[in-house]
Chains A and B, each alone.
Chain A
């Protein structure tokens, strides 16, 4: 869809950026030492740190990705909300306090606190870099996707470059001090504004909207292209020439054929519903979608509801949702088709409605030659889901940019309290995501081509100002998370790699300078990757980052704390094996074969795409085995910290 440039959005956005940069420059003067730059002098109040956890953690993927997934597929997006939040329990109950007690600036400090091993520092620094970069890619891709329509940039890369440069400025000026305050402001605003928006959604209630006039292509010429159109995949679709040169698509509904939305490229021009995409005469654009087709008891409108009755009523309604399909003709011209389906609300509000988790609704047994036999494809798909949920659970407490936040408070009690504040704000936000997503689903404003825009478009259904504020908050969401990630990477390189692993003997001042140079470098790499991977699915990439973090870091963190037999070789080996095995698994998965290499997914070498269920236990096994082998030649002096 083409978006009008919103001057209100630009104004609010500019005010936010000015505020954030102003804070950075002001605080920059106070953060000259390494302790100031990397850990905000350990003086951040616990409440501020707790809300900053929310600002750090609630990334563009959480805000835009989950809302979009719920708006299009219902409950399945909420599965991410549950997994992301549950992971905080591991952080609070297992990791937070010992990590604070053992470390100084980075989680490598904690891992290495009893060994003084260059191997551990090197392994932890590399894993921090890999996880941070993997997590940065979706943030930058999301930033580009978000800023492009909001600020009226014609190209995706302009959004990525804008975000990248602002974040580099924030991080370089005042490191963790400004990063923390940016995250605090953003986290607070995100939660408060989403709560207001949810109250408006529930207060507005549900309205059954009339279907747009039924478009029939009477007298149109039916075309018969080859390729997918003639195959089983395209059996329910056909191309029709509704006017000379204007080719549209129809879908079969029972005995009827009905016009649906479609697009394809023609000599570099995007054609929508058979006409060039645009706002001028002779051009057209996608129609906004998403509505309640039928409310229970034939009502047209419910009036204001409470949160429970909102969900209960939606469950008993019929909702029109849109699905898409790509068909190639014999000349390899690809048409993307968007078509409506009316689905029961209770079906949308149970797991398994999206393509990502559709396996949840499949049976483990299939009938073959009159016998019930186990279906391996169903087993792999269900394992894929379990693997993702395990990675989300274990990954949160292993994310380097979250872990470094524990060093900005003064003691363990503050670490504990700030985690609880974090859980409260993040948990509250995730509850709201369900209402935001469902509100967008039924708002009649969805963009069929881009589910990341669901939340901002939902806000637009309430007026231009809510839209401008949501857009500006979404943008600061990206700023907050990206600056945290760049800080983590910067600390890993300057503190762990240069100063501690390579033992370059850097002065306090040199360490800060090295950190700032790294921040600029990582920021530029993030900009490049954001442009390069512009087409990948944002939420999926975040899931992979959690898998790598959990596989590489969780075994080392947990075993260091709970097993006295852990050796430095065990920790180093576990980090490398966990990181490399999960990375290799991802690169050999069906998703990568299809979306990155353009190869047939059936030829992928691993049976499912989320590695956690295999590689997290592998990390633990390697740590135990290597520790047992190397037990004699290096005991750790202090035992369990």
Chain B
């Protein structure tokens, strides 16, 4: 597996787009927003498990209860959040290239 990154500018030896402070800061901002979204999702799970365990036993999807669906959702949600973050980072890089090319 080659480690080439698609958002790397053409031309050997050029600085990577992530080394640009504006791109790096934009990535960090997107990261933080997504982090808080996921944190809220995780906190909701902890809150339900701690204070409303009865609700966790309710079947919600094809007879499977909320505890399992929410738990699996947190795991799948991590991957979804990661995919969105990758997409946003790619967009920041593309915007940088577009501006640099102007």
Contacts and interface: CB of A to CB of B under 8 A. Distances in A.
A207 B68 CA distance: 22
A101 B78 contact: no
A386 to B, nearest CB: 6
Given A46-B3, A86-B74, A351-B56, A382 B50 contact: yes
B53 A346 contact: no
Contacts of A424: 79, 82
Contacts of A409: 3
Contacts of B71: 75, 78-79, 81-82, 434
Contact of A88 (B7, B76, B78): B78
A419 interface: yes
A416 B82 CA distance: 9
A617 B49 CA distance: 22
B82 A420 contact: yes
Among B5, B19, B62, the one with the most A-chain Cβ atoms within 10 Å of its Cβ is B5
B67 A92 contact: no
Interface string B70-97: 0110111011011101100100000000
B51 to A, nearest CB: 8
Interface residues of B, number: 48
A196 interface: no
A413 B31 contact: no
B67 A75 contact: yes
A423 B78 contact: yes
B53 A89 contact: no
A105 B98 CA distance: 34
A97 B1 contact: no
B22 interface: no
Contact of A308 (B16, B45, B61): B61
Among B34, B62, B72, the one with the most A-chain Cβ atoms within 10 Å of its Cβ is B72
Interface string A96-110: 011001000000000
Interface in A389-413: 389, 393, 409-413
A410 B13 CA distance: 13
B79 to A, nearest CB: 6
Interface string B1-21: 111010110000000111100
A354 to B, nearest CB: 13
B68 A361 contact: no
A169 interface: no
Nearest to B31: A93
A312 B68 CA distance: 10
17 contacts: A82-B71, A86-B74, A89-B34, A89-B78, A93-B38, A94-B31, A94-B35, A312-B64, A315-B59, A315-B65, A351-B67, A360-B53, A410-B3, A411-B5, A412-B18, A413-B8, A413-B16
Given A81-B75, A312-B63, A386-B50, 9 more contacts: A79-B71, A89-B38, A93-B81, A350-B65, A361-B53, A382-B50, A410-B3, A424-B82, A431-B76
The 5 closest A-B pairs by CB, nearest first: A312-B63, A93-B31, A47-B1, A45-B3, A413-B5
Interface of B: 1-3, 5, 7-8, 16-19, 24, 27-28, 31-32, 34-35, 38, 42, 45-46, 49-51, 53, 56-57, 59, 61-65, 67-68, 71-72, 74-76, 78-79, 81-83, 85-86, 89
